[in-house]
Amino acid sequence: MRILETCNQAEYQSLPPSQIVPALADKAIYIASESSFYRVLKEADQLHHRGKVQAPRKVARPEAYKATGPNEVWSWDITFLATRISGLFYRLYLVMDIYSRKIVGWEIHENETADHASLLIRKACLAEGITEQGLVLHSDNGSPMKGATMLATLQRLGVVPSFSRPSVSNDNPYSESLFGTMKYTPAFPSKPFENLDAAREWVYDFVHWYNETHRHSGIKFVTPAQRHSGKEQSILVNREAVYQAAKQRNPKRWSRGTRNWQPVGEVWLNPVNQESEEAEVKDEAA
């Protein structure tokens, strides 16, 4: 058919009928109306995918992983830290355990490489005593995450790699949220870092505060270190006892019962249920 032949010519193959028909008219050519062009292209399944225009590629969701304890599922990412030189940034590599929210490893470098990432993961596994295979390490699709050195290291360590979909930040919500917490904490410097040592010193203090002092809303306001070490159970039992004692002293003020201090159970990365995923992301905002 003449419409299809025309639309697939090099001159028109990447244009919609709304542009093809006027272009033909400028050459004193009229084949059919725009609506006829659209109809014919649709019937030939060429309405959106002609020339260099490719059909949209559906990328499968990352596999869902469940953590029932520490050192089962980790998440890591890289964020920029501003320097005094405009346009120049340090890279903060940071690894966290999604069950406890503990930062289990971090480093700062001037660039992004799979070698840096590989060394960081090896150090984190050594520090946490990871000896059994099966730890899941989730990240986005950046080159440091998928570089040959990094993947070879994961294979040697028995670590299972997991990757986000391209340009889907919610596939890696824990790391994204942690970076938000870091950069919006009142202690975050209002001015760029003077040098690499200054950046490392500040992040060192932040990690200690986050792990050891910060009571995280997503884990019933215990610290990541307390949950990671298993101390949260006794802490939450003590809190429950305090609340129950307060209720007994003045029951009229507790008509709706006491606060729920039961420990958070399993934690999911990229759960299948979209509502659950959104709840996880919101939960991590503290």
Q: Smallest Cα–Cα separation from 219: which of 127, 120, 117, 98?
A: 98
Query: How far, in Å, CA of 172 to CA of 187, rounded?
Result: 25
Cα angle 162-228-140, degrees, rounded to a multiple of 5: 20
Same domain, 28 and 110: no
Is residue 76 located within the same domain as residue 6? Answer: no
For residues 68 and 202, membership in a common domain is answered with yes
Its domain, for residue 24, covers 2-43
In angstroms, the CA 149 to CA 77 distance is: 16
Residue 212 domain-assigned (yes or no): yes
Mean pLDDT of 251-272: 87
Residues 98 and 240 in one domain: yes
Q: Is the pLDDT reported for residue 135 higher than 50?
A: yes
Confidence band of 268 (pLDDT split at 50, 70, 90): very high
55 pLDDT band, cuts 50/70/90, is low
> pLDDT-based confidence at 166, cuts 50/70/90?
low
Q: Does residue 51 form part of some domain?
A: no
Q: What are phi and psi of 79, to 5 degrees?
A: -130, 160
Task: Evaluate whether residue 282 is within a structural domain.
Answer: yes
Answer whether residue 237 is part of any domain. yes
Confidence bin at 264 (pLDDT 50/70/90)? very high
Name the pLDDT band for 279 (thresholds 50, 70, 90). very low
Q: What's the pLDDT at 255?
A: 80
Q: Do residues 180 and 70 share a domain? A: yes
Q: Do 131 and 8 fall into the same domain?
A: no
Residues 11 and 127 in one domain: no
pLDDT tens per residue, range 103-114: 999 999 999 999
Query: Same domain for 82 and 217?
Result: yes
User: CATH number for the domain including 167?
Assistant: 3.30.420.10
Would you say 75 and 172 are in contact if contact means Cβ atoms under 8 Å apart?
Answer: yes
User: pLDDT tens-digit profile of 79-124?
Assistant: 999 999 999 999 999 999 999 999 999 999 999 999 999 999 999 9
CA distances in angstroms from 203 to 56, 107, 239, listed in the order given: 41, 9, 31
Same domain, 27 and 110: no
Could you tell me which of 162, 147, 164, 165 has the C-alpha nearest to residue 111? 147
pLDDT (average), residues 195-207:
97
Residue 22 — very low, low, confident or very high, per pLDDT cuts 50/70/90? confident
Distance of CA 56 to the CA centre of its chain: 23
Q: Is residue 48 situated within a structural domain?
A: no
The pLDDT of residue 285:
42
The answer to whether residue 156 sits within a structural domain is yes
**Whole-number Å distance between alpha carbons of 75 and 77:** 7
Let me know whether 73 and 12 are in one domain: no
Domain membership of residue 50 (yes or no) is no
Q: Looking at the predicted structure, is the pLDDT value of residue 47 above 50?
A: yes
Place of tokens 């905002």: 285
Q: Is the pLDDT of residue 170 over 70?
A: no
pLDDT above 70 as % of the chain: 88
How many structural domains does the chain have? Answer: 2
Residue 220 lies in a domain: yes
Q: Provide φ and ψ at 97, rounded to 5°.
A: -95, 125
Query: 259 and 120: one domain?
Result: yes
The CA distance from 256 to 123, in Å, is 48
Q: Which residues pair with 107 in a beta bridge?
A: 93
- Quote the CA–CA distance of 132 and 163 in Å, as a whole number: 21
Same domain, 130 and 253: yes
